[in-house]
Amino acid sequence: MKKTQLYILAFVVSAIGLSWAWYKWQVLQFPLSPREEVEVWSIEARLEFQGNGGPNKVRLQLPSRGSGEVPGFAVIDERLISRGYSEQMTKPKGAEGRQVEWVIRRASGRQVLYYRANVVRDTAEVVESGEPKLREPPELTEAQQAAIDTIFEGVKERSADIATFTREFVREFIGEDPSDEARSLLDGIVTSEDRAQFMARALAIRGIPARVLHGLSLGESKAFQTLQPFLQVHNGTTWVAINIDTAEEGLPENFFLWTRSPRDLLVVESDRRPKIEFSVQRNLADAVAIATRRTEVRSENLVKYSLMGLPVEMQSVYRILLTVPIGAFVMLILRNLIGIKTFGTFMPVLIALAFRETKLLSGVILFTLMVSLGLLARFYLERLRLLLVPRLTSVLILVILLMSLVSVIAHQLDIPVGLSIALFPMVIMTMTIERMSIAWDERGPGTAIKEGVGSMIVACIAYLAMTYPPLEHLVFVFPEILLVLLGITLLLGRYSGYRLMELFRFRALAREREAAMAKGAVVPPGGTGGNP
Amino acid sequence: MMNPFRIAQRLREIGLSGINQRNADYVLRYNPRKFYPRVDDKVLTKQLAIEHGLPVPELYAVVREEHEIEELHAKIKDRESFVAKPAHGSGGDGILVITGRRGAKYRRSNGHLMDQEDFEHHLSNTLSGLFSLGGQPDAVLVEYCVQFDPVFDHVSYKGVPDVRVIVFRGYPVMAMIRLPTRLSDGKANLHQGAIGVGIDIPTGLTRRGVWGNEPVKEHPDTEHSIIGLQIPRWEELLHIAARASEMSGLGYVGVDLVLDKNLGPLILELNARPGLSIQIANGNGLLHRLKKVEEIAVPATDPAERVAFSRENFPTV
């Protein structure tokens, strides 16, 4: 009964840990391994126009920053560069998207403004905002009216629903040889921007809500790009995007949606024909930092109430602290499953922590050296019949003196050993010396050395596990993994089988039974226990 | 060399209990934490035993403070021999056995002389907690030194052999006698090199010995056979063990007894986590016996009845 409860608890704890880690890995895209890099695109919009010497006002439509509003991507930060202008970000009422307004009292000559944004991939669920609305139908001549009716009739024949209808409609205007009707409709329409706007309005004649999106294709670095228009129609339930150049459905893979606002992209009061250019720079950046930024964009509290929200110095402390459970777990395995004898319960983990500051090899050498010297000193003090506490104090003083001596000598000999000793290992060393000397007195040198070597082995293995970079990274970025460790530990808490060392210790009994069985002596289970 | 899985299987067949199983299935389940002081504090154990009318070595003095050490010499000046032991010691650590005097000096059981200063230093170390679990400040008990039964004269080397009985739910399930050797420095601790000899519970005869991990038939120092010795007053000894476990409130307990020439069996100490070496000494696992006791729905209230059950059911060949 209690065991079932334990299994359930262990399972629940591990499941929580695993699923939270999975969420962070898959959805928030925190990397599983250290030093992983992700693509970051820096997009720069360069605005150029002529000032007329008087007050000026510039308005630019910007990408949304809300979670999921830019399908497939997230803007992690942005910057405006505009000397002399005052700027204001606004979210226009009743309209889609976001815009910035630059204002200046006096501006003349060539003016250049910049907007820069850093963009990363994001898998947040796409929010297709915007109520379907019919556009104003285009003004057409009688001939054009007849032409568009002919086209609509033909298209209707070949289509099943709104999406296919739109696709077929777009197809009429592309290709090598458009029909006469299409050519008459496109009279005076040159840019793809105008073509997209025309199509969106033309679809209103048939009662289809349509709009035009603008975006960029993010791939390799590329300068001097322009925004690419996309047609989007509402089929009654969702918005469907159609490429106006190929009539293909859906947005291309690397399409970064700049704006879906019906307003003009750029409006400058003083200049009717302002120039706008986009350049894309592709960089690689630390995946953890990017994932943190991306999460912050999504929900500030997710980061604020996580380890990433701590000051950097504290983070580095936790980076070490979070590996302690790994050491403790290694220790648990070695003690309860293997059966290695150590000093104290967590002493080896503390020694392993001390090794962090001295590195493994020099740590082991230093530790062995210091513990042996300390033991010698202690045995001498023992002969002087000092009381326990004064004796401990003397050992501590001696250890510190010895350590400083080792550091000085090592420095003079140009060996980097011992220079990295901090406060922490000192205390551990003194404690180890005391424990060891007690064991030496009490249970003989054999046991003391056995436990000392055992502690050292456990400390080395724990150190290797605790400093293994992928593991260190994993527990720091996904601390919830420790819940899985807790689950396993709970299960191991009920392990009542043999320890490996016990098999060795009791092997004579097993051999005896083996021999008895070989002789054919029928030994009932229970042996001499008397069970028939 | 047998492979580990085969060893594990054979050990499981003979019902050998490992540390993990002992802790999980017996110590944790049957020994309530609140009763631990009854066995960990030897002063308390002694008091309880006296209240229950169980025989223990007579207590001469208890030393709790540093300044009481000096007064001790006067208190025990009439005692030729005595034992000083830490109240919270474990595994026989820190026990000082004084068998005689020479002038102002004390003679230890191993024959060495110890001057007063050495003696005081040892007691002071004990008070500081050198021998107690976790280094807690401790007390020293000074008590009667057992005049052990001559039966063991030939099979022990300078020290007191003691009998360890594992008692489960009041039923003695396994027993062994621990014989000190030169290697163990007169201590009756298997880890330190004493010999463990399994005792057949129905008859009280020693059956087989183990020294370290090796089976032995003779005492390594005296060359006398350790097999087939009759433990004196065996029935009485089992009774005391069965009642001692009752008094401790612990379901799974190791009772250590000594046999005094004149006083018979005396309780030395109780142990809430008795070691597993007793299984090697008996050439048999504990589990089958423990299961048998677990099958008893309600343990008998009469110790005699429980001892009778054990003597019927738990032979060691």
What ipTM does the predicted assembly reach? 0.78
pLDDT for A526: 44
Q: Does B289 touch chain A (CB under 8 A)?
A: yes
Q: Share the mean pLDDT of chain A.
A: 82
- Which residues, in sequence order, are CB contacts of A313 under 8 Å at separation 6+? none
Cα(B124)–Cα(B140) distance, integer angstroms: 9
pLDDT for A527: 44
- Which residues, in sequence order, are CB contacts of B293 under 8 Å at separation 6+? B168, B169, B171, B173, B299
Q: State how far residue B205 is from chain A, nearest Cα, in angstroms.
A: 15
Contacts of B288 in chain A (CB under 8 A): 525-527, 529, 531
pLDDT for A419: 47
Chain-centre distance for alpha carbon A463: 26
pLDDT for A230: 87
Strand partners, A488: none
Closest among B176, B213, B173, B177 to B193, alpha carbons compared:
B213
Q: Please check whether residue A506 is in contact with residue B11, taking contact to mean a CB–CB distance below 8 angstroms.
A: yes
Which of A495, A496, A509 comes nearest B11 by C-beta?
A509
Q: Give the three-state DSSP class for B219.
A: coil
Closest among A216, A239, A227 to A127, alpha carbons compared:
A239
Q: Please check whether residue A137 is in contact with residue A202, taking contact to mean a CB–CB distance below 8 angstroms.
A: yes
Radius of gyration of chain A (CA): 37
Percent of chain B's residues with pLDDT above 70: 97
pLDDT for B177: 92
Q: Does B182 touch chain A (CB under 8 A)?
A: no
* Contact state of B284 with A527 under an 8 Å Cβ cutoff: yes
Cα(A115)–Cα(A265) distance, integer angstroms: 13
* Contact state of B284 with A389 under an 8 Å Cβ cutoff: no
Q: Does B14 touch chain A (CB under 8 A)?
A: yes
Q: Does A530 touch chain B (CB under 8 A)?
A: yes
Q: pLDDT grade, residue B54 (50/70/90)?
A: very high
Contacts of A447 in chain B (CB under 8 A): 191
Strand partners, A214: A229, A259
Which of A389, A497, A505 comes nearest B128 by C-beta?
A389
Closest chain A residue to the Cα of B133, Cα to Cα? A344
Strand partners, B210: B196, B215
Which of B10, B130, B131 comes nearest A510 by C-beta?
B10
Closest among A211, A198, A191 to A261, alpha carbons compared:
A211
pLDDT tens for A263-279 read 888 888 888 888 888 88
Cα(B30)–Cα(A510) distance, integer angstroms: 28
Return the minimum-mean-pLDDT range out of A404-408, B78-82, B91-95, B167-171. B91-95
Strand partners, A266: A60
pLDDT for B168: 95
User: Cα–Cα distances in Å, from B179 out to B176, B207, B258, B264?
Assistant: 10, 14, 11, 18
pLDDT tens for A173-215 read 887 677 777 777 777 777 888 888 888 888 888 888 888 888 8
Q: Does A387 touch chain B (CB under 8 A)?
A: yes
Radius of gyration of chain B (CA): 19
Phi-psi region of A224 (alpha: psi -120 to 50; beta: other; left: phi over 0): left
* Contact state of A505 with B10 under an 8 Å Cβ cutoff: no
pLDDT tens for A222-234 read 777 888 888 888 8
Q: pLDDT grade, residue A525 (50/70/90)?
A: very low
Q: Which of residues 436-495 of A touch B (CB under 8 A)?
A: 438, 441-444, 447, 494-495
pLDDT for A529: 39
Q: Write out the two tokens for A389.
A: 């506490």
Burial class (CB in 10 A: 0-12, 13-18, 19+), B238: buried
Q: Does A411 touch chain B (CB under 8 A)?
A: no
Q: Does B316 touch chain A (CB under 8 A)?
A: yes
Q: Does B300 touch chain A (CB under 8 A)?
A: no
Tokens 């706007």, located at residue: A197
Q: Does B280 touch chain A (CB under 8 A)?
A: yes
pLDDT for A193: 82
Q: pLDDT grade, residue A251 (50/70/90)?
A: confident
Q: Give the three-state DSSP class for B142.
A: strand
Q: Please check whether residue B144 is in contact with residue B57, taking contact to mean a CB–CB distance below 8 angstroms.
A: yes
* Mean pLDDT within B64-90: 86
Q: Please check whether residue B269 is in contact with residue B256, taking contact to mean a CB–CB distance below 8 angstroms.
A: yes
> Which residue type, as a one-letter code, is found at position A463?
Y
Q: pLDDT grade, residue A95 (50/70/90)?
A: low
pLDDT for A415: 65
Q: State how far residue B11 is from chain A, nearest Cα, in angstroms.
A: 6
* Mean pLDDT within B107-120: 85
Cα(B5)–Cα(A145) distance, integer angstroms: 90
Q: How many helices (H) and strands (E) does chain A have?
A: 17, 13
> Which residue type, as a one-letter code, is found at position B285?
G
- Buried-exposed string A295-329: b where 16+ CB fall within 10 A, e elsewhere: bbbbeeeebeeeebeeeeeeeeeeeeebbbbbbbb
Q: At what angle do helices A388-412 and B116-128 cross, to 10 degrees?
A: 80
* Contact state of B283 with A509 under an 8 Å Cβ cutoff: yes
pLDDT tens for B169-208 read 999 999 999 988 888 776 777 777 889 999 999 999 998 8
pLDDT for A423: 59
Q: State how far residue B138 is from chain A, nearest Cα, in angstroms.
A: 12
pLDDT tens for A291-342 read 777 777 777 777 777 777 777 777 878 888 888 999 999 999 998 899 888 8
User: Cα–Cα distances in Å, from A237 out to A131, A156, A163, B31, B196?
Assistant: 11, 20, 11, 68, 85
pLDDT for A531: 37
Q: Which of residues 27-66 of B touch A (CB under 8 A)?
A: none
- Which residues, in sequence order, are CB contacts of B194 under 8 Å at separation 6+? B178, B179, B180, B181, B184, B187, B188
pLDDT tens for B134-172 read 667 888 999 998 888 888 888 887 777 889 999 999 999
pLDDT for A528: 44
Q: In this model, does residue A523 exceed pLDDT 60? A: no
Cα(B278)–Cα(A323) distance, integer angstroms: 40
pLDDT for B134: 61
- Three-state SS sequence of A453-500: HHHHHHHHHHHHHHHCHHHHHHHHHCCCHHHHHHHHHHHHCCCCCCCH
Q: Which of residues 248-267 of B touch A (CB under 8 A)?
A: none
Percent of chain B's residues with pLDDT above 90: 36
Percent of chain A's residues with pLDDT above 90: 8
Return the minimum-mean-pLDDT range out of A153-157, A205-209, A341-345, B16-20. A341-345
* Contact state of A443 with B192 under an 8 Å Cβ cutoff: yes
Alpha helices for B141-268 (secondary structure H): 234-248
* Contact state of A496 with B131 under an 8 Å Cβ cutoff: no
User: Cα–Cα distances in Å, from B19 out to A499, A501, B177?
Assistant: 8, 11, 21
- Which residues, in sequence order, are CB contacts of A529 under 8 Å at separation 6+? B15, B284, B285, B288, B289, B292, B313, B314
Q: Please check whether residue A57 is in contact with residue A271, taking contact to mean a CB–CB distance below 8 angstroms.
A: no
Predicted model pTM? 0.70
